[in-house]
């Protein structure tokens, strides 16, 4: 596993409400050039984190023999993950943030925009108080 720390920020220690938004995406029809490129994936994830006003405390990356990549970004608010499957031209992504001061949908939108998949399925889960699951999008 290759440790990364290019997105480290100084974040205020805040207490977040016991609520969160978890957005999950299944993306299909993506070029292997993007799915196997660690630097590209780190950039789109980091760009999304910045757009969402989240605080990144590091990125860990593991590249598998198949060419697939698992990327995890640790946020003060929770996490972002990307799991690529080049052999299927697909990836699973998710972004979970606690509290209400940042928007995980912006992280997901930035990743989707960068990967340019042919098909996108997105689900949103509200966690904590006022829980709900919502099917957002399928192209």
Q: Catalytic residue among 57, 79, 81, 83, which?
A: 83
79 is a catalytic site residue: no
Q: Catalytic residue among 98, 101, 102, 138, which?
A: 98
Q: What structural domains does the chain harbor?
A: 2-6+19-138 (3.60.90.10)
CB 45 within 8 A of CB 59: yes
CB 56 within 8 A of CB 7: yes
78 is a catalytic site residue: yes
Pick 44 or 19 by higher pLDDT: 44
Q: Catalytic residue among 55, 78, 90, 102, which?
A: 78
Label the pairing between strands 2-4 and 90-98: unpaired
83 is a catalytic site residue: yes
Residues present in the chain in total: 139
As given in the structure block, the two tokens for residue 44 are: 């789109």
Pick 139 or 103 by higher pLDDT: 103
pLDDT in tens, 69-118: 999 999 999 999 999 999 999 999 999 999 888 999 999 999 999 999 99
The pTM for the full model equals 0.86
């Amino acid at each position: 596993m290759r440790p990364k720390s290019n997105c480290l920020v100084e974040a205020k220690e805040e207490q977040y409400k016991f609520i969160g938004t978890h957005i999950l995406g299944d993306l299909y029809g993506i070029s292997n050039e993007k799915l196997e490129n660690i630097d590209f994936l780190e950039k789109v994830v980091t760009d999304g984190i910045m757009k969402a006003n989240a605080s990144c405390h590091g990125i860990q990356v593991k590249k598998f023999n198949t060419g697939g990549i698992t990327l995890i970004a640790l946020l003060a608010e929770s996490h972002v993950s990307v799991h690529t499957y080049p052999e299927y031209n697909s990836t699973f992504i998710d972004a979970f943030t606690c509290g209400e001061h940042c928007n995980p949908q912006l992280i997901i939108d930035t990743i989707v925009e960068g990967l340019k998949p042919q098909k996108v399925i997105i689900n949103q889960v509200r966690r904590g108080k006022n829980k709900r699951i919502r099917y957002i999008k399928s192209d």
